[in-house]
Chains A and B, each alone.
Chain A
């Protein structure tokens, strides 16, 4: 009987003031953590493969760039539309730098840049362009498709929400 009572109390707790206060605190804590600090998201698409696979689950760590700016090689979460649609991309060039693709090779300020995270060959060619102030240049890791079909380019720093937790 004691087990039954305990089980019943767990699933159907009495709505006492203490219980309501505890439930309110848990709800507030969850809202602050998962609404503002660690925002959950699911990856849809193949543009960051093989680093991040389609369908994977992750969290956006909002305070990663609170006191710093993204560095080259960082994977960042970019606000794309409203508060719900975000992009996951890798920073390849910083503000003021010149970025270029020549036959599937990345050049920063005219020097070839080694990218160990790229596992599939690609043949992109993009004329040199300078990254605007307060912006970074982002590209996905999977460049096996056509350049025209890939979302990449300069993103302003205020649009960067944070980085993936893992």
Chain B
């Protein structure tokens, strides 16, 4: 005589439903049976809801993380034109800035980098520093080198970007530039100016075509 198993009895030897998690006791994806009434779930398989089902919540979280990572990668890899324009200012800021004890090689590299950010000629109007007119790249790098020479420490930062693209291959940027530093004679310098800039896109690269300091107080 082989033993016959009574399949109508629950596998649980105590014959009781799990009080803490009846759904888990019945297995994933199924509604609790026994004393609890069967409910129509939102998902197939009789699930009683999204939140109550740990497995499905996990899938949703993984999907959200993948979507967020995808969005972040797309944002990083495919830079917008605005971001490229801002990057040009960031490079100018890096080129102009000077740390104490800067060696001659770093200085040379930075000066060359500054020159590469400008068009063949660029109109520059900075009345406070008596710089005005359409200057060539060499003239600009010369001014930059002489200007940096007077400083032991120099930092240039840009804020309040207002970027517009009035025409194809051209960008107008209105922003604030803040220059801080210490001269070689130990004098602290702190200046802020509102700038109006015009950028040109040449061979897929944005370059400075005009930089003008906005004159707030006209004497």
Inter-chain contact total with CB atoms closer than 8 Å: 48
Closest chain A CB from B191 CB (angstroms): 9
Write the nearest CB–CB distance from B115 to chain A, whole angstroms: 26
Complex: how many Å from CA A149 to CA B160?
A: 26
A152-B219 CB under 8 A given contacts A80-B192, A83-B160, A85-B192: yes
The A interface, classified by DSSP as helix, strand, loop or mixed, is strand
Interface residues in B184-216 (C-beta closer than 8 Å to A): 190, 192-194, 214, 216
On chain A, the residues within 8 Å of B218 by CB distance are: 132, 153-154
* Chain B residues, CB < 8 A from A36: none
Most chain A CB inside 10 Å of its own CB: which residue of B160, B216, B218: B216
Contact of B192 among A81, A129, A155 (CB under 8 A): A81
The residue that B159 contacts in the complex, of A84, A151, A154, A155, with Cβ under 8 A, is A84
Interface residues on B, range: 10 to 19
Answer whether residue B176 sits at the interface, using C-beta atoms and an 8 A cutoff: yes
Interface string of A75-103 (1 = CB under 8 A from B): 00011111111010000000000000000
Could you tell me which B residues sit within 8 Å of A by CB distance? 159-160, 175-178, 190, 192-194, 214, 216-219
Q: List 24 A-B contacts (CB under 8 A).
A: A44-B190, A79-B216, A80-B192, A80-B194, A80-B216, A81-B160, A81-B177, A81-B192, A82-B159, A82-B160, A82-B176, A82-B192, A82-B194, A84-B159, A84-B176, A85-B176, A87-B216, A126-B219, A138-B217, A152-B217, A153-B218, A154-B218, A154-B219, A159-B216
